[in-house]
């Protein structure tokens, strides 16, 4: 996927322009930036939830927004910051919503779709929640169910807006580890907006660093660690990257 000079924003005046980067298959990208920097705006523009004012997004030779909505939904799965479901429904039925792009008008999910939904719950380790009322779940559980729905959608590209924000520390790391496992094993691609650079260092392949409405890309596999520290320090203050037991931690000196 190529994001080519896209621009867009909101009626309140917030506008972000000329954003460009590529998303390679099998890679996880951390979209890092301070609150209000435009991370959610970028993700929503890629998903089509915010209309582009200029630029385009292409997958191969196809312009993403010349495709019908259902065709786009087969390519891109979106996980928002919080769910919008406000009525009684079971967890498995929430996951089944991910099959919508593959159904004809008035067609309902078949048994095979239900089996796929249960498999998605199992992959994320929450199969015991299948028959629970979605509204009775904790916010963290709800977020994992929405990720299962996105997995059900079978999109090659998964865009997640702070998926770990409602989880406790242990489950944040479990979820990030699971997301990485899914992306690698299923040869998908993922862009995750997040606040914590440590999760980017430990679970992602590249960082898209957003500052002053501009993107700086960091390849964590090839970039010198001192240069990574320097670039992160431009946003987070003076930082030092520490390695312990094959895990990275940040030390903030400010």
User: HEC string of 154-191?
Assistant: CCCEEEEECCCCCCCHHHHHHHHHHHHHHHHHCCCEEE
Position 88 scores a pLDDT of 86
Partner residues linked to 6 by β-bridges: 19
**Range 168-186 average pLDDT:** 89
**Range 166-194 average pLDDT:** 90
Query: What percent of the chain lies above the pLDDT cut of 70?
Result: 99
Number of domains in the chain: 1
The answer to whether position 203 is within a domain reads yes
**Range 22-38 average pLDDT:** 93
The answer to whether position 24 is within a domain reads yes
pLDDT band of residue 254 (cuts 50, 70, 90) is: low
The answer to whether position 254 is within a domain reads no
**Range 201-218 average pLDDT:** 94
pLDDT band of residue 83 (cuts 50, 70, 90) is: low
**Range 71-91 average pLDDT:** 86
The answer to whether position 92 is within a domain reads yes
Backbone angles phi, psi at 8, to 5 degrees: 175, 175
Top pLDDT among 58 and 243 is at 58
The answer to whether position 151 is within a domain reads yes
The answer to whether position 233 is within a domain reads no
CATH value at residue 162? 3.40.50.300
pTM for the complete prediction?
0.90
pLDDT in tens, 84-135: 776 889 999 999 999 999 998 888 889 999 999 999 999 999 999 999 999 9
Position 208 scores a pLDDT of 97
The answer to whether position 243 is within a domain reads no
Partner residues linked to 209 by β-bridges: 32, 216
pLDDT in tens, 31-53: 999 988 999 999 999 999 999 99
DSSP letter, residue 115? H
Q: How many residues does the chain have?
A: 254
Mean pLDDT of the chain: 91
pLDDT in tens, 122-172: 999 999 999 999 999 988 889 899 999 999 999 999 999 988 887 888 888
Backbone angles phi, psi at 204, to 5 degrees: -115, 160
* Residue numbers of the domain that contains 182: 2-221
The answer to whether position 30 is within a domain reads yes
């Amino acid at each position: 996927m190529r994001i080519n000079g896209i621009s867009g924003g909101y009626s309140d005046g917030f506008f972000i322009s000329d954003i460009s980067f590529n998303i390679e298959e099998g890679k996880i990208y951390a979209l890092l930036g301070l609150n209000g920097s435009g991370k959610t705006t970028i993700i929503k523009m890629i998903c089509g939830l915010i209309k582009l004012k200029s630029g385009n997004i292409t997958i191969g030779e196809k312009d993403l927004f010349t495709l019908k909505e259902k065709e786009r939904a087969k390519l891109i799965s979106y996980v928002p910051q919080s769910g919008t479901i406000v009525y009684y429904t079971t967890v498995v039925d929430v996951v089944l919503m991910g099959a919508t792009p593959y159904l004809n008008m008035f067609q309902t999910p078949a048994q095979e779709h239900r089996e796929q939904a249960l498999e998605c719950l199992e992959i994320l380790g929450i199969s015991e929640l299948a028959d629970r009322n979605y509204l009775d779940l904790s916010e963290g559980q709800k977020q994992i169910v929405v990720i299962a729905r996105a997995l059900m959608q079978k999109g090659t590209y998964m865009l997640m807006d702070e998926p770990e924000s409602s989880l406790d520390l242990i489950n944040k790391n479990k979820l990030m580890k699971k997301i990485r496992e899914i992306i690698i094993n299923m040869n998908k691609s993922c862009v995750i907006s997040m606040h914590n650079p440590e999760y980017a260092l430990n679970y992602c392949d590249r960082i898209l660093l957003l500052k002053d409405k501009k993107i700086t890309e960091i390849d964590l596999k090839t970039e010198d660690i001192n240069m990574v520290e320097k670039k992160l320090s431009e946003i987070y203050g003076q930082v030092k990257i520490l390695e312990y037991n094959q895990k990275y931690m940040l030390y903030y000196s400010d």
